[in-house]
């Protein structure tokens, strides 16, 4: 039986930003995943806040979306990032 992953508020916020940027570019999860060399399932997990990507994956997503990586983190303040203990 599969276990549902816990969603963190930060992960959900990142996922919302990723989904917005993907939709603005009229990309499906599958097309974004292909461009970033990821699986569509993984992109879905990230968009739902069930998985927080590593820096390497964040950079792959930014490149595939043709945005600066900072745009994917635009919803986060320095205080929020410090609280996350990155």
- Model confidence pLDDT, tens digit, residues 1-17: 344 567 788 889 999 99
List the CATH code of the domain at 9-74.
1.10.260.40
User: Where do the H-state alpha helices sit in 25-85?
Assistant: 29-36, 40-47, 55-65, 69-72, 78-83
* Cα separations in angstroms, 53 against 1, 18, 20, 34: 24, 11, 17, 16
* Cα separations in angstroms, 3 against 6, 8, 73: 9, 16, 28
Claim: this prediction has a pTM higher than 0.95: no
- Model confidence pLDDT, tens digit, residues 54-72: 999 999 999 999 999 999 9
């Amino acid at each position: 039986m599969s276990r549902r992953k816990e969603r963190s508020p930060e992960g959900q916020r990142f996922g919302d930003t990723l989904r917005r940027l993907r939709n603005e570019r009229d990309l499906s999860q599958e097309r974004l995943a292909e461009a970033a060399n990821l699986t569509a399932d993984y992109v879905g997990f990230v968009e739902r806040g069930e998985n927080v990507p590593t820096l390497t994956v964040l950079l792959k997503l930014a490149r595939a979306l043709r945005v600066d990586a900072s745009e994917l983190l635009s919803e986060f303040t320095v205080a929020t990032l410090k609280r996350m203990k990155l």
